[in-house]
Amino acid sequence: MSAEVISGTELAKDIRTELKKEVKVLNEQNINPHLTVIIVGDDPASHSYVKGKKKASAEIGISSEIINLPEDTSETYLLEKVNELNNNINVHGILVQLPLPKQINEQKIIEAISPKKDVDGFHPVNVGNMILGNDTFLSCTPYGIITMLKSKDIEITGKHAVVIGRSNIVGKPVGQLLLNESATVTYCHSKTKDLSKHTLDADILVVAIGKEHVIKAEHVKKDAVVIDVGVNRTKEGKLTGDVDFESVKEVASYITPVPKGVGPMTITMLLKNTIKAAKQIGK
Ligand code: NAP
């Protein structure tokens, strides 16, 4: 039997309907959730992501502003801009779109954002709180993945979760959140020997590599849950994942598609974090 497809688009739609109601309640208390996004340079993919975030915010009543800065922006200028936003009581969420141009140290910028407004969940304070299992801003893609698993009542406790990828924004935090949910977690990466040995033992397989169709049916255990985080462009210009959807869906019990899988959930969790920040910061 073919796997059940977990639609990120459908789930995101349901969650956004609820979030819209939360925004209304906040508005009645004179709290108007506001997200400010800074984008540096002209990278078309980054601009497209930012546009998506603005549109999704507007749809649920979150006001947002995009600050466009030129490619040659200095680190000092960007730090000043972030500091201004930290001190602006009308701004609840701050997001600096990554990657940044070479002259800017990304980590320095991430650490300059107030942890209270860090709706991306990248600040070390929020990362530390996530590891400790404290209530905090969870980074959006891992948060979206856990939400997708829970939406289908997929058992995580005691399961073997294998995460391929160890980036700070996806691989590491998603593994940590799965551990927090009592999975037994294995991390794989480019130096892992015999990748299939690990993937074939996974009850939950999260793939965050960034290379087209690395994972095929022969890498997946029967009835595994497969989450495809990858976003790649085919030669024909279409979006596709790290997982060969057509073959893997014949082996897995659940699978996420690309597009319309993890992507829409990532933006939804950003909206959720912005509302959380607005509630905490208030008027
Ligand atoms: P990244 O920073 O480039 O990390 C990729 C990871 O994959 C690294 O840990 C790397 O290992 C590992 N890797 C590379 N080739 C491998 C191979 N052949 N076998 C096993 N591991 C391999 O990428 P990222 O930022 O985590 O993003 C991963 C993918 O998710 C990208 O396609 C990105 O566009 C997508 N993404 C999607 C969303 C969404 O919302 N849908 C959000 C974020 C990212 P090393 O550490 O050893 O180099």
Q: What is the pLDDT along the chain (283 residues), one digit of tens a residue?
A: 899 999 999 999 999 999 999 999 999 999 999 999 999 999 999 999 999 999 999 999 999 999 999 999 999 999 999 999 999 999 999 999 999 999 999 999 999 999 999 999 999 999 999 999 999 999 999 999 999 999 999 999 999 999 999 999 999 999 999 999 999 999 999 999 999 999 999 999 999 999 999 999 999 999 999 999 999 999 999 999 999 999 999 999 999 999 999 999 999 999 999 999 999 998 6
Q: Of 104, 17, 14, 28, which is closest to residue 59 (Cα–Cα)?
A: 17
Q: What does the DSSP 8-state code read for residue 187?
A: E
Q: Is the peptide bond before 124 cis (omega within 30 degrees of 0)?
A: no
Q: How far is the CA of 189 from the centre of ligand 1 (A)?
A: 9
Burial (Cβ within 10 Å: 0-12, 13-18, ≥19) of residue 17: exposed
Nearest CA to ligand 1 atom 30: 230
Identify the residue whose tokens are 């208030």. Answer: 282
Q: Whose CA is nearest to atom 39 of ligand 1?
A: 263
CA of 224 to the centre of ligand 1 (A): 20
Q: Which residue has the tokens 């997946």?
A: 220
User: Can you list the positions of beta strands (E) in the chain?
Assistant: 4-5, 34-40, 63-69, 93-96, 160-164, 184-188, 204-207, 225-228, 232-233, 239-240, 254-255
Q: Is 156 within 8 Å of 178 (Cβ atoms)?
A: yes
The verdict on the CB of residue 41 being under 6 Å from ligand 1 is no
Long-range contacts of 102-106 (CB under 8 A, 24+ apart): 103/72, 103/74, 103/75, 104/40, 104/73, 104/74, 104/75, 104/78, 105/75
Between the CA of 165 and the centroid of ligand 1 the distance, in Å, is 5
Q: Give the model confidence (pLDDT) of 16-29 as tens digits.
A: 999 999 999 999 99
Instruction: Supply the DSSP string of 104-135, one letter for each residue.
Output: S-HHHHHHHS-GGGBTT--SHHHHHHHHHT-S
Check if the beta carbon of residue 64 is closer than 8 Å to that of residue 54: yes
Q: Crossing angle, helix 262-281 and helix 140-151, to 10 degrees?
A: 110
Beta bridge partners of 39: 68
